[in-house]
């Protein structure tokens, strides 16, 4: 049936992403006088460092690493039923991914290319339905705690955006960060 084919394709997809981290030179110290809140140190109060707004958004909110839960999933223009979508979880750490689709596991590695917009992912399946396969994808963070990933499960090309149609056959998933 059509639903069974969609589940099969989802099992073949295997999740993905990457390992991005913030380099030491990107992190700013909050110990300088310019970064300290202007609070008098009298009567037992002390000055409190004020973080830079860019630091607040950098970690952990705009890193692909962590645990993610699918909110929506669309394959070739067809949305997955909510009960299927809710069973998709993705865990990314140290350049490796582990995706679970209704209890079926798939694992592999992820390479991130931040030199383009949107950011590109090259996913290599090592265990499960995608063992030996390459999947190309792009991702971004449209809002705090959310991640969009558009996958070309054929490994032919990096998607140019975030859309799944019957014509392009892409797999498009919106994830939320797990609590």
DSSP annotation string for 62-82: T-S-EEEEEEEEEETTEEPPH
Residues 6+ apart with CB under 8 A from 141: 61, 62, 147, 148
Confidence band, pLDDT 50/70/90 cuts, at residue 39: very low
pLDDT of residue 103: 86
| Structure tokens, 158 | 């990096």
**Mean pLDDT lowest among 111-120, 146-155, 169-178:** 111-120
The torsion region of residue 83 among left (phi > 0), alpha (psi -120 to 50) and beta comes to: alpha
**Mean pLDDT lowest among 47-56, 60-69, 81-90, 121-130:** 47-56
Confidence band, pLDDT 50/70/90 cuts, at residue 147: very high
| Count of CB atoms situated within 10 Å of the CB of 92 | 25
Residue 57 has pLDDT above 70, yes or no: no
Residues 6+ apart with CB under 8 A from 114: 20
pLDDT of residue 62: 65
Higher pLDDT, 26 or 176: 176
pLDDT of residue 36: 33
Mean local confidence (pLDDT), 15-25: 34
Q: What is the mean pLDDT of the chain?
A: 75
**This prediction's pTM:** 0.68
The DSSP call for residue 102 is: T
Q: How far is CA 103 from CA 4, 34, 55, in A?
A: 16, 51, 36
**Mean pLDDT lowest among 7-11, 134-138, 148-152, 165-169:** 7-11
């Amino acid at each position: 049936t059509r639903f069974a084919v969609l589940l099969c394709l989802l099992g073949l997809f295997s999740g993905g992403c990457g390992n991005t981290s913030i380099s030491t030179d990107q992190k700013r110290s909050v110990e300088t006088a310019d970064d300290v809140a202007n609070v008098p140190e009298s009567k037992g109060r002390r000055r409190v460092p004020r973080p830079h707004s860019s630091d607040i958004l950098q970690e952990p909110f705009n890193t692909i690493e962590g645990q993610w839960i699918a909110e929506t999933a669309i394959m070739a223009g067809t949305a997955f039923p909510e009960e299927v979508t809710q069973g998709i979880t993705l865990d990314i750490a140290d350049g490796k991914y582990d995706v679970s689709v209704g209890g079926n596991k798939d694992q592999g590695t992820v390479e991130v290319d931040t030199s383009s917009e949107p950011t590109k992912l090259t996913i290599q399946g090592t265990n499960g339905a995608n063992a030996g396969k390459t999947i190309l994808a792009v991702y971004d963070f449209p809002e705090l705690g959310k991640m969009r990933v558009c996958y070309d499960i054929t490994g032919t090309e990096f998607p140019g955006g975030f859309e799944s149609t019957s014509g392009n056959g892409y797999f498009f998933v919106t994830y939320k960060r797990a609590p």
